């Protein structure tokens, strides 16, 4: 019988042949932004009209071989002689038309022109003339910007968004050869604003039934209704603006400001349904943000956009905490951010703020990377991901999960903590050298999940009945499953169920309230199992901080890991187990005829992330390997170092991307320099019947020896300094 892997490989190969043919036939019909591969932005300030050298700037951006350049049109400040009332002209504009000069120069270099707009704030004269345009506090006062206090926050539900902004779009479109419009800051993927203007109170009365809470609170029925009303308004405005910008040029596009990585509140799947181009304004990291934060953003965006345009902004300035807008960040950090953008399937967008920089160190960094991208452009035209493991992106859990329904010891921002489940699994997958994709929880269709051998679910506590049905269908169809902790114990809004909705898959029911957080608890190895490879010298493994007590409901495989409950860790005299052995399952592993299911009762992935204990990482990696069974991975990479990998089928062949994270600044910015890793042995499965003629390392520009046995291509990458791309053609 044909194996599942052979079926997936053959099927995907057939689909690619069909897709390539249709792409070639329809190439002329694709919008310009669908083929864009390099994008740049000069963000002007109000004083720039005095001194900005248009020719010098366009020379620089042209040297990056850009497909598109973003330049300030207006919104807060107009950089052209606008006739729209209350559209504030730069006080330094004089008789100059700076946007017009830049627009003409951009088009003369055959670059697409995108007008960068800001819809979020306006000046006091607009507030006095049109108070209905602006957000209000509970006491009725307008909301000034916290730094530039002469600017006031506009309201998305008001006519500023439906009347004033479209008027500005039409004026710009009528005067200049603009190919698209981008709004800074809107709609974003962060928390929902709660405004107290008259129009918003009308929305609250008619659509919500009361004023929603000011903070994200899914336990509130009012918040839930407001969430839907808010999302509907965002989508309505987005469609209106797309219609406005295409009145003069049907091929034009409106681009919203999205991003947020894995910590998003607004539903990015719904936003992706209206977005023709998804821009992630995810410019850099600071503090203890991990280096792979940009690659995660790419996985999120690709999960909701599939093969449509996704860009990611790299800020050339030091956007750390604190931020320095006019000095460059470390070159290595900038390079790695752009590398992650390209590797994860996004289009790099390079950004500087201010037209008269005194720090120009960033310029050469961008030029070097973009010139290399341009020289190798065909290999960044991806047609599909080559991965057979899917990780569920549990957006609702990250957005809404709170201490009332989970761990009680949040440190810092709550949403940062709710992402730790996904972060821990992610890190374990990087250490284990797995190739995987994100799948959004609202895209669990059969046609999506059937591409993957296993679905990994990091504590998706908040999932709907429909999601659970789709997961159940996936397993019954032969897919394998990993789930942890409170997965499916709550509805999509956080209402606790009487039991796991997926209890039938787990083979266990919840038997009481969640226990924890408690340290110094353990998992006892009762029986050897493939998931316990490498633990031959111990009877105990570290236990998760939090767990759900279980009542086993399905007869089947014997329990391999049981719970050793918490006992005191201090003082030393008291450190001994009060209950050294229980029959309480810490994990359940079910080997079925067509699939395998692993369920951990505790938050093993979050505990791994917080503790860094390698036993928990190895346990997760072993479990993923067990879920895949005897099937050979589509792609594998063996060697030393911490790397993140992506594998793509491309228009000319295939590409393997290797990001070298082996660095003391991996989990705290900024990377100062790179530390090269040694030989990496790769095995890459190509479509059946495809013969590979050449394997080439693009960063080091050298051919690599390789061998091919049937559909398996083997080669060795001698070393990786920062980022390497191996092209198979």
pLDDT in tens, 255-278: 999 999 999 999 999 999 999 999
Confidence label for 287 from pLDDT (cuts 50, 70 and 90)? confident
Strands of the sheet with 712-717, listed across from one edge: 635-638, 680-685, 712-717, 706-709
Cis peptide preceding 714, ω within 30 of 0: no
Token pair, residue 146, equals: 């916290």
Partners of 522 in the β-ladder = 542, 564
Contacts of 13 (CB under 8 A, 6+ apart): 687, 688, 690
Pairing of strands 585-591, 561-564: antiparallel
Cα gap 38→370, rounded to integer Å: 7
pLDDT of residue 28: 56
Cβ–Cβ < 8 Å for 194, 213? yes
Residue where one domain finishes, among candidates 573, 601, 628: 628
**Pair (182, 167) in one structural domain:** yes
pLDDT at 133 over 80: yes
DSSP letter for 192, please: P
Secondary element (H or E) of residue 12: helix 4-25
Same domain flag for 299 and 344: yes
- Phi, psi (rounded to 5 degrees) for 9: -65, -45
Domain CATH code at residue 671: 2.60.40.1180
Backbone angles phi, psi at 616, to 5 degrees: -70, -40
Query: What is d(CA 511, CA 493) in angstroms, rounded to the nearest whole number?
Result: 22
> Of all residues in the chain, what percent carry a pLDDT higher than 90?
90
Q: Among 284, 241, 274, which Cα is nearest to 119's?
A: 241
Same domain, 639 and 568: no
How many helical (H) and strand (E) elements, i.e. helices and strands, does the chain have? 20, 33
Task: Dump strand ranges (E) for 380-433.
Answer: 382-385, 389-393
- Residues 307 and 196: their CA atoms lie apart, in Å, by 40
Is 619 found in the same domain as 642? Answer: no
**Which token pair is 440?**
């959004």
Strand partners, 391: 438, 456
453 found inside a domain: yes
| The pLDDT value given to residue 558 | 82
- How would you classify the pairing of strands 121-123 and 151-153? antiparallel
CA distance 291 to 675: 14
What domain range includes position 585? 389-628
d(CA 180, CA 173): 9
Residue 42 parent element (H or E): strand 39-43
How much is the pLDDT for 6?
A: 44
Q: What angle do CA 563, 568, 573 make, to 5 degrees?
A: 125
470 and 559 fall within a common domain: yes
Q: pLDDT tens digit string along 290-327?
A: 999 999 999 999 999 988 999 999 999 998 888 999 99
Considering the domain boundaries, does residue 20 fall inside one?
no
Tracing tokens 């950090």 back to the chain, one arrives at: 333
Give which of 221, 199, 218, 198 is closest to 210, Cα–Cα: 221
**Is it true that the peptide bond before 670 is cis, omega within 30 degrees of 0?**
yes
Which two three-digit tokens encode residue 15? 């689909």
Q: Which of 564, 596, 628 is the last residue of a domain?
A: 628
Question: CA-to-CA distance for 357 and 436, rounded, in angstroms?
Answer: 41
The two three-digit tokens of residue 42, written as one number: 């000069």
Cβ–Cβ under 8 Å, residues 463 and 441: yes
Tell me the pairing of strands 480-484 and 540-542: unpaired
Do 175 and 306 fall into the same domain?
yes
In a domain, 290, yes or no: yes
Least reliable range by pLDDT among 495-499, 565-569, 593-597, 608-612: 593-597
Strands (E) in 132-172, as ranges, are 151-153
What's the pLDDT score for residue 504? 96
The answer on 715 and 593 residing in a single domain is no
- Tell me, yes or no, whether 623 and 639 share the same domain: no
Instruction: Find the farthest-apart pair of alpha carbons in the chain and give their distance in angstroms, rounded.
Output: 83
Residue-level pLDDT at 556:
65
Q: What is the rounded CA–CA span in Å between residue 411 and residue 420?
A: 11
Chain mean pLDDT for the chain: 93
Residue 542: per-residue pLDDT:
98
Closest CA to 220 of 80, 8, 348, 402: 402
Please tell me whether residue 301 adopts helix, strand or coil conformation.
helix
Mean pLDDT score, 454-466: 98
Cβ-Cβ contacts under 8 Å for 17 (sequence gap 6 or more):
none
**pLDDT digit string (tens) for 207-258?**
999 999 998 899 999 999 999 999 999 999 999 999 999 999 999 999 999 9
Q: Are 406 and 417 in contact (CB under 8 A)?
A: no
**E-state strands within 507-616:** 508-510, 522-525, 540-542, 550-552, 561-564, 585-591, 596-600
Task: Let me know: does 678 contact 639? Beta carbons within 8 Å.
Answer: yes
Per-residue pLDDT for 5 more than 60?
Answer: no
The phi, psi pair for 468, rounded to 5°, reads -65, -40
Q: What mean pLDDT do residues 97-124 have?
A: 98
pLDDT at 412 over 70: no
pLDDT tens, 637-695?
A: 999 999 999 999 999 999 999 999 999 999 988 999 999 999 999 999 999 999 999 99
DSSP code, position 208: I
What does the alpha-carbon distance between residue 705 and residue 723 come to, in Å, rounded to a whole number?
19
For 134-193, write each residue's pLDDT tens digit: 999 999 999 999 999 999 999 999 999 999 999 999 999 999 999 999 999 999 999 999
Helix (H) or strand (E) holding 40: strand 39-43
Helix-, strand-, coil-residue percentages of the chain, each rounded to 5: 35, 25, 40
pLDDT of residue 320: 85
If one counts the domains in the chain, the total is 3
- Residue 407 inside a domain? The answer is yes
CATH number of the CATH domain containing 108: 3.20.20.80
Q: How far apart are CA 595 and CA 211, in angstroms?
A: 48
Does residue 591 have a pLDDT over 50? Answer: yes
Half-sphere exposure at residue 138, Cβ-oriented, CA atoms within 13 angstroms: 4
Q: How far apart are CA 299 and CA 436, in angstroms?
A: 9
Which one is predicted more confidently, 379 or 415? 379
Contact 636, 642 (CB under 8 A): no
Say if 143 falls within a structural domain.
Answer: no
Q: Give residue 554's pLDDT.
A: 73
- Cα distance between residue 359 and residue 380, in whole Å: 31
Cα-based distances in Å from 168 to 13, 160, 262, 555: 47, 11, 33, 67
Q: Are residues 371 and 417 located together in one domain of the fold?
A: no
In a domain, 40, yes or no: yes
pLDDT tens string 204-219: 999 999 999 998 899 9
> What is the pLDDT, as a whole number, of residue 321?
83
CATH number of the domain encompassing residue 406: 3.40.50.880
Residue 149 within a domain: no
Query: Where does a domain end: 349, 375, 401?
Result: 375
H helices within 26-157, ranges in order? 54-63, 98-108, 124-129
In a domain, 4, yes or no: no
pLDDT of residue 26: 46
Residues 257 and 355 reside in one and the same domain: yes
567 & 602 share domain: yes
Residues 167 and 270 in one domain: yes
């Amino acid at each position: 019988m044909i194996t599942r892997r052979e079926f997936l490989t053959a099927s995907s190969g057939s689909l690619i042949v069909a897709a390539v043919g249709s792409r070639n036939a329809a190439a002329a019909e694709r919008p310009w932004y669908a083929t864009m591969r390099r994008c740049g932005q000069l963000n002007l300030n109000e004083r720039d009209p005095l001194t900005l050298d248009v020719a010098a700037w366009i020379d620089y951006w042209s040297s990056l071989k850009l497909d598109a350049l973003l330049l300030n049109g207006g919104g807060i400040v107009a950089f052209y002689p606008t006739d729209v009332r209350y559209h504030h002209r730069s006080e330094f504009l004089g008789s100059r038309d700076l946007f017009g000069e830049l627009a003409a120069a951009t088009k003369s270099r055959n670059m697409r022109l995108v007008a960068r707009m800001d819809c979020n704030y306006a000046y006091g004269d607009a507030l006095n003339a049109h108070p209905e345009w602006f957000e209000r506090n509970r006491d009725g006062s307008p909301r000034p910007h916290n730094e530039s206090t002469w600017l006031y926050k506009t309201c998305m539900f008001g006519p500023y968004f439906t009347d004033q902004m479209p008027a500005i779009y039409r004026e710009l479109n009528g005067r200049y050869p603009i190919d698209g419009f981008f709004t800074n800051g809107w709609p974003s993927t962060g928390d929902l604003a709660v405004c107290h203007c008259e129009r918003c109170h009308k929305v609250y009365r008619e659509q919500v039934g009361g004023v929603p809470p000011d903070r994200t609170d899914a336990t509130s029925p009012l918040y839930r209704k407001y969430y839907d009303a808010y999302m509907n308004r965002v989508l309505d405005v987005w469609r209106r603006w797309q219609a406005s910008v295409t009145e003069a040029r049907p091929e034009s596009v409106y681009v919203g400001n999205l991003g947020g990585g894995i910590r998003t509140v607004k539903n990015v799947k719904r936003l992706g349904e209206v977005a023709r181009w998804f821009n992630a304004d995810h410019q850099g990291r600071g503090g203890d943000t991990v280096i792979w934060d940009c690659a995660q953003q790419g996985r999120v965006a690709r999960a909701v956009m599939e093969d449509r345009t996704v860009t990611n902004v790299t800020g050339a300035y030091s956007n750390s905490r604190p931020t320095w807008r006019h000095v460059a960040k470390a070159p290595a950090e900038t390079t790695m951010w752009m590398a992650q953008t390209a590797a994860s399937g996004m289009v790099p967008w390079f950004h500087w703020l201010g037209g008269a920089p005194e720090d120009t160190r960033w310029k050469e960094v961008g030029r070097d990377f973009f010139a290399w991208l341009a020289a190798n452009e065909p290999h960044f035209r991806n047609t599909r991901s080559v991965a057979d493991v899917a990780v569920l992106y549990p957006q609702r859990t990250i957005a809404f999960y709170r201490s009332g329904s989970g761990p009680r010891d949040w440190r810092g921002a709550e949403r940062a903590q709710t992402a730790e489940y996904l972060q821990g699994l992610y890190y374990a997958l990087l250490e284990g050298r797995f190739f995987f994709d994100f799948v959004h929880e609202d895209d669990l269709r059969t046609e999506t999940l059937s591409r993957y051998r296993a679905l990994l679910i990091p504590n998706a506590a908040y999932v709907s009945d429909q999601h659970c049905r789709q997961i159940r269908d996936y397993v019954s169809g032969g897919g394998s499953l990993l789930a942890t902790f409170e997965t499916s114990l709550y509805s999509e809004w956080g209402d606790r169920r009487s039991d796991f909705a997926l209890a039938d898959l787990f083979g266990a029911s919840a038997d009481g309230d969640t226990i924890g957080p408690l340290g110094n608890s353990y998992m006892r190895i009762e029986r050897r199992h493939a998931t316990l490879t490498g633990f031959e010298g111990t009877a105990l493994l570290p236990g998760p901080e939090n767990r759900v007590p279980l009542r086993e409901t399905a007869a089947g495989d014997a329990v391999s890991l049981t719970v050793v409950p918490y006992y005191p860790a201090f003082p030393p005299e008291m450190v001994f187990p009060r209950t050294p052995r229980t029959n309480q399952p810490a994990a359940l592993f079910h080997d079925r005829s067509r699939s395998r299911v692993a369920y951990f009762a505790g938050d093993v992935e979050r505990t791994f992330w917080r503790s860094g204990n390698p036993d928990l990482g190895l346990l997760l990696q072993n479990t993923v390997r067990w879920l895949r069974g005897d099937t050979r991975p589509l792609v594998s990479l063996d060697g030393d170092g911490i790397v993140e990998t992506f594998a793509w089928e491309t228009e000319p062949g295939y590409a393997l991307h290797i990001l070298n994270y082996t660095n003391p600044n991996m989990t705290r910015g900024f990377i100062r320099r790179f530390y090269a890793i040694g030989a990496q042995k790769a095995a890459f499965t190509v479509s059946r019947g495809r013969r590979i003629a050449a394997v080439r390392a693009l960063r080091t520009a050298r051919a690599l020896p390789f061998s091919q046995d049937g559909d398996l291509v083997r080669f060795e990458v001698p070393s990786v300094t920062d980022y390497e791309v191996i092209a198979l053609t």
